[in-house]
Amino acid sequence: MIESNLPALQVILPLIAAPLCVLLRRSSLTWLVAWSASWATAAVSIAILLKVLGSGTISYAFGGWAPPWGIEYRIDPLNAFVLVLVSVVAALIVPYARRSLQAEIRSRQHYLFWTAYQICLTGLLGVTITGDAFNVFVFLEISSLATYILIAYGQDRRALVASYQYLIMGTIGATFIVIGVGLLYLMTGTLNLDDMARRIANMPLYRPELAAMAFLTVGISLKLALFPLHLWLPNAYAYAPSVSTAFLSATATKVAVYLLMRFSYTVFGRSGIFESLPFEEMLIALSLAAMFLASTVAIFQDDVKRMFAYSSIAQIGYMTLGIGLANASGLTGAIVHMFNHAVAKGAIFLLLGCVALRIGQPLMSQLTGLAKRMPLTAAGLVVGGLSLIGIPGTVGFVSKWYLVMAAVEKGWWWLAALVVISSLLAVLYVWRLIEVVYFREPSEKLNEATEAPISMLIPAWLFVFACIYFGLDTSTTVGTAAIAAETLLESLP
Closer of 180 and 380 to other proteins (Cβ): 180
For the window 5-44, what string marks contact with other proteins as x by the rule CB under 8 A?
Answer: x--x---x--xx-xxx-xx---------------------
User: CA-CA distance, 7 to 11, in Å (whole number)?
Assistant: 7
| Candidates 59-67, 414-422, 459-467, 468-476; binding stretch for other proteins (CB under 8 A) | 59-67
- Cβ of residue 240: shortest distance to other proteins, in angstroms? 13
Closer of 139 and 397 to other proteins (Cβ): 139
Q: Identify which of 104, 124, 99, 102 has the alpha carbon closest to the alpha carbon of residue 10.
A: 124
DSSP per-residue string spanning 403-446: HHHHHHHTT-HHHHHHHHHHHHHHHHHHHHHHHHHHSSPPPHHH
- Cβ of residue 137: shortest distance to other proteins, in angstroms? 8
User: CA-CA distance, 488 to 493, in Å (whole number)?
Assistant: 11
- Cβ of residue 415: shortest distance to other proteins, in angstroms? 34
- Cβ of residue 310: shortest distance to other proteins, in angstroms? 17
Helix (H) or strand (E) run with residue 74 in it = strand 72-75
- Report helix, strand or coil for 368: coil
Angle at 121 between CA 117 and CA 127, to 5 degrees: 145
- Cβ of residue 408: shortest distance to other proteins, in angstroms? 42
What are the C-alpha distances in Å from 68 to residues 57, 137, 186, 201, 488?
Answer: 16, 17, 15, 16, 20
* Phi, psi dihedral angles at 356 (to 5 degrees): -60, -30
Q: How many residues does the chain have?
A: 493
Contacts of residue 405, Cβ cutoff 8 Å, sequence gap at least 6:
329, 333
Quick one: which of 155, 171, 296, 327 contacts other proteins (CB under 8 A)?
Answer: 171
| Candidates 134-142, 198-206, 420-428, 432-440; binding stretch for other proteins (CB under 8 A) | 134-142
Quick one: which of 53, 160, 214, 328 contacts other proteins (CB under 8 A)?
Answer: 160
User: CA-CA distance, 294 to 491, in Å (whole number)?
Assistant: 33
User: CA-CA distance, 320 to 83, in Å (whole number)?
Assistant: 19
| Candidates 61-69, 256-264, 378-386, 415-423; binding stretch for other proteins (CB under 8 A) | 61-69
For the window 135-154, what string marks contact with other proteins as x by the rule CB under 8 A?
Answer: --xx--x---x--xx--x--
Please tell me what DSSP assigns to residue 262: I
- In 10 A of CB 160, how many CB atoms? 14
Closer of 113 and 137 to other proteins (Cβ): 137
- Cβ of residue 178: shortest distance to other proteins, in angstroms? 5
Closer of 157 and 444 to other proteins (Cβ): 157
8 Å CB contact between 462 and 342: no
The footprint of other proteins on this chain (CB under 8 A) covers a number of residues equal to 42
Closer of 191 and 367 to other proteins (Cβ): 191
| Candidates 48-56, 62-70, 102-110, 287-295; binding stretch for other proteins (CB under 8 A) | 62-70
DSSP per-residue string spanning 125-170: HHHHHB-BHHHHHHHHHHHHHHHHHHHHT-SSTHHHHHHHHHHHHH
Query: Should residue 163 be labelled a site residue for other proteins when binding is judged by CB under 8 A?
Result: yes
Closer of 160 and 277 to other proteins (Cβ): 160
Chain positions 175 to 234 lying near other proteins, rule: CB under 8 A, are: 175, 178-179, 182, 185-186, 191
- Cβ of residue 262: shortest distance to other proteins, in angstroms? 19
Closer of 46 and 160 to other proteins (Cβ): 160
Closer of 2 and 441 to other proteins (Cβ): 2
Closer of 147 and 423 to other proteins (Cβ): 147
Peptide bond connecting 392 to the previous residue in cis, omega within 30 degrees of 0: no
Q: How do beta strands 72-75 and 58-61 pair?
A: antiparallel
- Cβ of residue 25: shortest distance to other proteins, in angstroms? 9
Quick one: which of 3, 54, 55, 157 contacts other proteins (CB under 8 A)?
Answer: 157
- Cβ of residue 193: shortest distance to other proteins, in angstroms? 15
Quick one: which of 109, 158, 392, 431 contacts other proteins (CB under 8 A)?
Answer: 158
User: CA-CA distance, 442 to 209, in Å (whole number)?
Assistant: 59
| Candidates 90-98, 132-140, 276-284, 393-401; binding stretch for other proteins (CB under 8 A) | 132-140
Q: Identify which of 338, 336, 228 has the alpha carbon closest to the alpha carbon of residue 282.
A: 228
- Cβ of residue 491: shortest distance to other proteins, in angstroms? 25
Closer of 186 and 492 to other proteins (Cβ): 186
8 Å CB contact between 166 and 148: yes
8 Å CB contact between 241 and 150: yes
User: CA-CA distance, 204 to 175, in Å (whole number)?
Assistant: 26
Quick one: which of 39, 60, 232, 265 contacts other proteins (CB under 8 A)?
Answer: 60
Contacts of residue 392, Cβ cutoff 8 Å, sequence gap at least 6:
471
Closer of 180 and 385 to other proteins (Cβ): 180
User: CA-CA distance, 408 to 417, in Å (whole number)?
Assistant: 10
Query: Which residues of this chain interact with other proteins, rule CB under 8 A?
Result: 1, 5, 8, 12, 15-16, 18-20, 22-23, 60-64, 134, 137-138, 141, 145, 148-149, 152, 157-158, 160-161, 163-164, 167-168, 171-172, 174-175, 178-179, 182, 185-186, 191
